[in-house]
Structure 1
Amino acid sequence: MSEAPARPAAKSRSGRFDRDHPHYKWVALSNTTLGMLLATINSSIVLISLPAIFNGIHLNPLAPGNVSYLLWMLMGFLLVSAVLVVSLGRLGDLVGRVRMYNLGFVVFTVSSVALALDPLDQGPGALWLIGWRVVQAVGGAMIFANSTAILTDAFPARQRGTALGVNQVAAIAGSFIGLVLGGVLAEIDWKLVFWVNVPLGIIGTIWSYRSLHELGTKTKGKLDWPGNITFAVGLGVLLAAITYGIQPYGGHTTGWTNPWVLAGLIGGAALLIAFCVIETRVAEPMFHLGLFRSRVFAGGSLAGLLSAVGRGGLQFMLIIWLQGIWLPLHGYDYESTPLWAGIYLLPLTLGFLVAGPISGALSDRFGTKLFAAVGLLLTAATFVGLVLIPVDFPYWLFAVMVALNGLGSGLFSSPNASAVMGAVPANQRGAAAGMRGTFMNSGSALSIGVFFSLMIVGLAAKLPQALTTGLTQQGVDPAVAAKAGQLPPVGSLFAAFLGYNPIKTLLGDQISGPGVNRGALEGKDFFPHLIAGPFHSGLVVVFVAAAAMMVVAAVASLLGDRRDRRTAAESATGEAAA
């Protein structure tokens, strides 16, 4: 969109701020912040509520054949958001960013009502939820893809870092807040996890339709259908293959040797390569590959992707750690672990909320690179620190580590958003915002496949022997114990993730056999003690990999050249004059 000429400040007779009123930018900021909160809270609120949701529809996610329901409840929202956010950002450039953003609120609210009214049970009930989560993700992608561009249009360069900082704090903090909110609401009624969106969605819909204005002319052109289709199918197939790569195949602990998974990985990568070729040959591409000539845009996008992968992996690992091990060891019932896991993760959220707005304001004055790089290096240090503390940690030490991790993420997020969006022309901000959203959502989706697979590899080295020995010591027949020990560790991993005690599922009727210490096997301590050592072995692999990603991202954040600085300076001068 082209920049609109400035006009004298005015306020409409209806009392609302017009587009040229000096306070309009703050109206836009408050509305888009609400939208980003809604979209990103729902990327994680289900994550911690899954035990209550599956109990509510009377479905055992660990039973044979039901693991796919679990995976798609986790992945469906993230996958669709990642696939569509660029297309919807480009569509916003063509038909109006505000129009697409407003429609996103409507779609999001309607789908939330449908999710809360799930009339089905067991497998059909899970399919209903998965299907409407996909629709909800479409609405979330509309909001996500266009809110950053709306703010970039509304704010001058000298204030853009602060505005984008607040918006990005809302986006990433939403994923942390969702963990706490999901734990609290699921304790009352699982349907509240979806009902909570409805009043906020209605308010946001009415408010956005009444208050937001297009701040420029629509870009002339048409949608790049060949690019959109190859990108959507390629990325969708690739992420779906990664999803199924977590599940065991044949005699292997994971599914990476499954021919269908390999076909998805190769086919998805081939389609994405074809997409890049198409984008260099069409007149009006959806993905402006030329933007990557800017080292600020390229480095900032890479840093954003790696940060999202690390952040997503952190959330999964901390939930497993708390729900499956630490909380049961400290006397909490498995049924209450989602609630308390959310509460004990509050320092992570608070650390982010403290650092995010401050780094946005300071980066406007002192530049973005240093804050982004320092934040990522601090995050890398906390990943190493989390490896060094014991599995049965003193809580204050854990709280310090996750709070510092939140601080690091907060220091990085606002300057990164400001640098990336400030490096693109005004008429490509919608597409650029969509590209940022794709990297962020793809990183979250990739984190599930990458970190779950790394954890499974770590568990596979020690869990079978630990499980066999532990069951035998409690009176289980050695043959039965050996058979249970040879089962793929993904079941035990998902059990820990959901806060379940899987021993009954593993042993079946054998748990009541003669001489078996059933009380110990079904107690709060046996499974957490059993998995603690193997889990830590996997945690070392996962968090060392995450720390390495953060270091690479820090280096990428420091990239820049004279052309980028000249472009930013010219943009700031032009906007100040306007």
Structure 2
Amino acid sequence: MSVTVTGQKQNKNRGIDYKWIALLNVIIAALMGSINGSITLISLPAIFNGIHIDPMTSFQYLLWILMGYGLVTATLLLSFGRLSDIYGRVKLFRLGFLIFTVGSVLLYLTPSTGDAGAIEIIAFRILQAIGSAMFMANSSAILTDAFPPNERGRALGIHMVAFMSGQFIGLILGGVLAVYDWRYVFLVSVPFAVLGTLMSTFKLKETSIRSPDAKIDVWGNLTFILGITLLLLGVTYGLMPYGNDPMGWNNPWVVVSMVLGVVFMALFLWVETKVEDPMFRLDLFKVKMFTYANVAGLLNSLGRGGMMFMLILLLQGIWLPLHGYSYESTPFWAGIYMLPLTIGVMIMGPTAGWLSDKYGPRWIATAGMLINTVGFLILASMPYTFNYLEFGLTLFLMGLGSGMFSSPNSASIMNSVPAQERGVASGMMMTMMNTAFTASMAIFFTIVIVGITQRFPDAMTSSLASIGAVQLAPVLSNIPPTGALFSAFLGYNPVSTILAGLPASFSAAIPHSTLATLTGTTWFPSTLAGAFVPALHMSFYIGAVFTATAAVLSALRGETYVHELEVLKDTRSKPGEED
């Protein structure tokens, strides 16, 4: 009991300014980590051109650069969260900044080109991800240590706004910087990483209540890292073509990886019930607020992770070209047109945090998930020729919903655990969110690829017949579904590339008007839309199921629960015991 009271006194003795210093450090970390996670989404074409790699023949590199950062971060968050409870949160937080800085500099200096250059970029991004996992695992815990219970919702809300806003700021920055030099995409992180390293070294104080007698959970770490790595590797390679199949879910190595991943994760949960100091505190799930808020957050991430990716594909591959934007410019403009989502989060995140401090998180978070459910259903009903005003308002609505949910939900989780367990609780929360985010991309991407595989050849043949070029059907109908999708994502028209590779005699027989139609900005996206949009709508309906379920769990979490206050209440009800 004295632990809680001491923590409160320390909070007062640090002075009113310290909490804002802690918040500024955490905001820098959140922005930097999330911007770095999304900035490559937009700048991949420039990166591949810069290292002289054809992305359509190097799909494995494309997928690893795209997903490797999130995979490594999700794998390490839980371990770093537990280590911070033992050795100190600020120590790991500042070390994370330093490692991230080194990784960013190395990415800017990437010396090689070709396959070697791609491998170097993947390796340096993994180094960045290790640093990112260190500060992400501790950010929520540092804020919870610095702010009193009645202000944590607002602080965590601002943190969540920074994290979610960074994902969309990265889209715009990537589009702007890639125009000048692909290396600037990685250089932009360096000044902020250096500033964060210096601030966390000289301004942050180690005020957490540590567990120095706790032991490192060696077996838990090994089984968890093996399990989550195998699962996420299986998911990643399941998205790659295998033989004549457009995806690799039938690849024996993928099947073995997934099965072994499930086995090791089950073994991990068993180990955590046996070791003296588990890294994954299963006993925390006895707290109703902790359990329901975490599962609701996981379901929200399952819906949100794939949604952003699908909307970018829709904008870059179909809507923007149909509205006259060149393929080269679509990555940048996709980021611009996604801004209403960011604005909604920025408006509602801090507001929802303040409201949850005052009125409790239950109904605010629940309303946020209900709003997102409605947003998914609206998106599922829109044609691919949608009016942007309706689309933008829907994104803004979903941004408001995300902001309403995220900060109260995070505050619920962090308020419900003892002070000495905040590091591991933060790591558990972020691990579940990041793993679900990666899984969401795999789920939505699989749905879309399966749908395109079934519909694309017929759509291509029908579209060619409508312009009197049915003789090209045997050639163009063989465009791989992943090639069609990622060409749209990377901002170029694959038809031009295929036609350039045809014999001159064959190309000469095609009328100039037909060639102009095929290589224009409207024919290919219209053809792709017929195969892509039905599967896209299905993914939105699945997203609605995830968020509706999250709303139910959020409503069932109960009223406000703050561990310090509950402990003090319990001791006051037993006056015969010492405080």
Q: TM-score, normalised by structure 2?
A: 0.93
- Pairwise CA distance, 1:176: 2.1
Aligned counterpart for 1:190 among listed residues 152, 166, 182: 182
Rounded Cα–Cα distance in structure 2 between residues aligned with 1:272 and 1:8:
39
- Pairwise CA distance, 1:274: 0.4
1:500–1:181: structure 2 CA closer, same or farther, 3 Å change rule? same
- Percentage of identical aligned residues: 46
Alignment partner, residue 550 of structure 1: 547
**Do structure 1's residue 446 and structure 2's residue 449 form an aligned pair?**
no
Alignment partner, residue 528 of structure 2: 531
1:57-76 superposed matches below 5 A:
57-63=51-57, 66-76=58-68
**Do structure 1's residue 267 and structure 2's residue 264 form an aligned pair?**
no
Aligned counterpart for 2:128 among listed residues 130, 136, 140: 136
Rounded Cα–Cα distance in structure 2 between residues aligned with 1:509 and 1:77:
38
Rounded Cα–Cα distance in structure 1 between residues aligned with 2:295 and 2:486:
30
Rounded Cα–Cα distance in structure 1 between residues aligned with 2:566 and 2:342:
37
1:158–1:364 contact (8 Å) kept in structure 2: yes
Alignment partner, residue 304 of structure 1: 297
Rounded Cα–Cα distance in structure 2 between residues aligned with 1:422 and 1:315:
29
Rounded Cα–Cα distance in structure 1 between residues aligned with 2:98 and 2:569:
38
1:62–1:495 contact (8 Å) kept in structure 2: yes
1:111–1:404: structure 2 CA closer, same or farther, 3 Å change rule? same
Q: Which has the larger displacement, 279-288 or 27-36?
A: 27-36
Alignment partner, residue 566 of structure 2: 570
**Do structure 1's residue 515 and structure 2's residue 496 form an aligned pair?**
no
Rounded Cα–Cα distance in structure 2 between residues aligned with 1:217 and 1:565:
20
Alignment partner, residue 368 of structure 1: 361
1:474–1:521 contact (8 Å) kept in structure 2: no
- Pairwise CA distance, 1:559: 2.6
1:107–1:138 contact (8 Å) kept in structure 2: yes
1:509–1:303: structure 2 CA closer, same or farther, 3 Å change rule? same
Q: Which has the larger displacement, 192-201 or 240-249?
A: 240-249
**Do structure 1's residue 560 and structure 2's residue 552 form an aligned pair?**
no
Alignment partner, residue 48 of structure 2: 54
1:86–1:145 contact (8 Å) kept in structure 2: yes
- Pairwise CA distance, 1:474: 4.9
2:39–2:171 contact (8 Å) kept in structure 1: yes
Q: Is there any run of 5+ residues in structure 2 with no aligned partner, and where?
A: 572-578
Rounded Cα–Cα distance in structure 1 between residues aligned with 2:249 and 2:310:
21
Rounded Cα–Cα distance in structure 2 between residues aligned with 1:362 and 1:569:
19
- Pairwise CA distance, 1:217: 4.2
Alignment partner, residue 176 of structure 1: 168
Rounded Cα–Cα distance in structure 2 between residues aligned with 1:302 and 1:436:
9
Question: Aligned residue pairs: how many?
Answer: 564
- Partner AA of 1:456 in structure 2: I
- Pairwise CA distance, 1:143: 0.7
Aligned counterpart for 2:201 among listed residues 184, 206, 209: 209
Deviations 1:171-212 (A, max 9, x none): 222212212222222222221111111111111111111111
1:416-427 superposed matches below 5 A:
416-427=409-420
Q: Could you say what secondary structure the match of 2:556 adopts? A: coil
Aligned counterpart for 1:402 among listed residues 395, 414, 436: 395
Rounded Cα–Cα distance in structure 2 between residues aligned with 1:536 and 1:173:
27
Q: Which has the larger displacement, 96-105 or 217-226?
A: 217-226
Q: Could you say what secondary structure the match of 1:62 adopts? A: helix
- Pairwise CA distance, 1:342: 0.9
**Do structure 1's residue 242 and structure 2's residue 235 form an aligned pair?**
yes
Alignment partner, residue 106 of structure 1: 98
The two structures, once aligned, show a CA RMSD in angstroms of 2.2
Aligned counterpart for 2:35 among listed residues 24, 27, 41: 41
Alignment partner, residue 231 of structure 1: 224
- Pairwise CA distance, 1:305: 1.3
- Pairwise CA distance, 1:566: 7.6
- Partner AA of 1:201 in structure 2: A
Deviations 1:266-319 (A, max 9, x none): 110111000000000000011101111222111111111121122211111111
Q: Which has the larger displacement, 497-506 or 379-388?
A: 497-506
1:377–1:554 contact (8 Å) kept in structure 2: yes
Q: Which has the larger displacement, 529-538 or 268-277?
A: 529-538
2:208–2:419 contact (8 Å) kept in structure 1: no
- Pairwise CA distance, 1:505: 4.0
- Pairwise CA distance, 1:384: 1.0
1:505–1:237: structure 2 CA closer, same or farther, 3 Å change rule? farther
1:255–1:6: structure 2 CA closer, same or farther, 3 Å change rule? closer
Q: Is there any run of 5+ residues in structure 1 with no aligned partner, and where?
A: 11-18
2:234–2:258 contact (8 Å) kept in structure 1: yes
Rounded Cα–Cα distance in structure 2 between residues aligned with 1:524 and 1:395:
18
Rounded Cα–Cα distance in structure 2 between residues aligned with 1:187 and 1:205:
29
Aligned counterpart for 1:435 among listed residues 428, 443, 454: 428
1:385–1:561: structure 2 CA closer, same or farther, 3 Å change rule? closer
- Pairwise CA distance, 1:569: 3.6
- Pairwise CA distance, 1:160: 1.1
- Pairwise CA distance, 1:441: 1.0
1:115–1:194 contact (8 Å) kept in structure 2: yes
Q: Could you say what secondary structure the match of 1:509 adopts? A: coil
Q: Which has the larger displacement, 66-75 or 439-448?
A: 439-448
Rounded Cα–Cα distance in structure 2 between residues aligned with 1:326 and 1:232:
41
Rounded Cα–Cα distance in structure 2 between residues aligned with 1:467 and 1:2:
68
Deviations 1:302-345 (A, max 9, x none): 11112112221111111111111111111111111111111111
2:239–2:442 contact (8 Å) kept in structure 1: yes
Rounded Cα–Cα distance in structure 2 between residues aligned with 1:276 and 1:472:
57
- Partner AA of 2:463 in structure 1: G
Deviations 1:467-488 (A, max 9, x none): 123245556564x523542454
